[in-house]
């Protein structure tokens, strides 16, 4: 006999089986690790598709408040898979290949929570473009970053020609893109390509995530949205967006708790409401 009122089912997040990456969440930090160490985590099409899947998981995972992307072994990601690039037969296949990478990285960039790339070893070509899709980048002292595609007779195709100039300026971006040279972590820090440099990129990224996690989750999402939506707009239009989102933030329970905690000289206890 059917119950008059069905009991509400608890949402259970389904995590796919991944062959080329791992995913886990601990204390609010979602960690995505590329796992093709034998190929220096080169971004094959299969790995790109798994990245798209894991982004969907992160977007649905209520426990994930900050996401860190890193690589297993000696490199963050040494670039796209050259065997797959060599197999591209015509401009149409190559265009679809570029659109696949661009689409995946656009999904990473569109995540509402803060994202951090923890870079060690090589972050070249598609690997650097993956890092550029994240909000923040932390590098270990051994990191080497660059877009070397012109040396292969190509151009960056996963967003590098567009995201890099927006991040570090046209002149500096063209320096890297047209020479194809690699830069050290320290030079990358000096040009604003990375935000922090430390002995261990993942540990530094986790420390950065801890600082972010102390703040209100709704405010974090709205702050990121304000920056992203305001890019490329006239200042007056961008300020309108900021005012709207400020108003939204001011109506949240988190804002009331944050102000109350400040006045009471205690740490806030945000609930994301």
Asked if pLDDT for residue 268 goes beyond 90, the answer is: no
The pTM assigned to this predicted structure is: 0.92
The pLDDT value recorded for residue 2 is 45
Asked if pLDDT for residue 10 goes beyond 70, the answer is: no
Q: Could you tell me which residues come within 8 angstroms of residue 215 by beta carbon, excluding any fewer than 6 positions away?
A: 270
**Mean pLDDT across 60-82:** 95
Q: Which residues are catalytic?
A: 129, 149
223 plus 106 within the same structural domain: no
Q: Give the Cα separation of 211 and 71 in Å (integer).
A: 22
Q: Which of 177, 194, 213 is the last residue of a domain?
A: 213
The pLDDT value recorded for residue 198 is 96
Cα angle vertex 252, ends 247, 257, to 5°? 125
**Mean pLDDT across 63-85:** 94
pLDDT digits (tens, 9 = 90+) for 184-224: 999 999 999 999 999 999 999 999 999 999 999 999 999 99
Asked if pLDDT for residue 100 goes beyond 90, the answer is: yes
244 plus 171 within the same structural domain: no
pLDDT digits (tens, 9 = 90+) for 230-262: 998 999 999 999 999 999 899 999 888 888 888
Q: Give the Cα separation of 125 and 41 in Å (integer).
A: 12
Looking at the domain assignment, is residue 147 inside a domain? yes
**Mean pLDDT across 109-130:** 97
3-class DSSP state of 252: coil
Q: Give the Cα separation of 236 and 14 in Å (integer).
A: 43
**Mean pLDDT across 76-80:** 94
* Average pLDDT taken over every residue of the chain: 92
- The mean-pLDDT minimum among 8-17, 152-161, 244-253 falls in 8-17
Looking at the domain assignment, is residue 69 inside a domain? yes
How many independent structural domains does the chain possess?
2
88 plus 71 within the same structural domain: yes
121 plus 166 within the same structural domain: yes
Domain that holds residue 102: 21-213
Looking at the domain assignment, is residue 242 inside a domain? yes
């Amino acid at each position: 006999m059917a119950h008059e009122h069905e009991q509400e089912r608890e949402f259970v997040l389904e995590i796919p089986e991944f062959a080329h990456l791992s995913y886990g969440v601990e204390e609010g930090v979602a960690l995505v690790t590329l796992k093709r160490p034998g190929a220096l985590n080169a971004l094959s099409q299969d790995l790109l598709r798994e990245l798209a899947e894991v982004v969907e998981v992160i977007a649905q995972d209520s426990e994930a408040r900050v996401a860190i992307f890193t690589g297993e072994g000696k490199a963050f990601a040494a670039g796209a898979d050259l065997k797959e690039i060599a197999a591209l037969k015509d401009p149409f296949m190559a265009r679809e290949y570029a659109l696949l990478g661009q689409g995946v990285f656009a999904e990473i960039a569109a995540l509402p929570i803060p994202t951090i790339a923890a870079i060690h070893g090589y972050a070249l070509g598609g690997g650097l473009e993956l890092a550029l899709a994240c909000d923040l980048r932390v590098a270990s002292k051994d990191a080497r970053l660059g877009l070397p595609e012109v040396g292969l007779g190509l151009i960056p195709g996963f967003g590098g020609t567009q995201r890099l100039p927006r991040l570090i300026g046209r002149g500096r971006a063209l320096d890297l893109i047209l020479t194809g040279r690699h830069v050290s972590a320290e030079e990358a820090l000096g040009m604003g390509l990375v935000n922090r440099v430390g002995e261990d990129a993942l540990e530094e990224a986790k420390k950065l995530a801890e600082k972010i996690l102390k703040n209100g989750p709704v405010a974090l999402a709205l702050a990121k949205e304000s920056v992203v939506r305001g890019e490329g707009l006239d200042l007056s239009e961008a300020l309108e967006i900021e005012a709207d989102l400020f108003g939204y933030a001011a109506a949240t329970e988190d804002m009331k708790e944050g102000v109350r905690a400040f006045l009471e000289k205690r740490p806030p206890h945000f609930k994301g409401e």
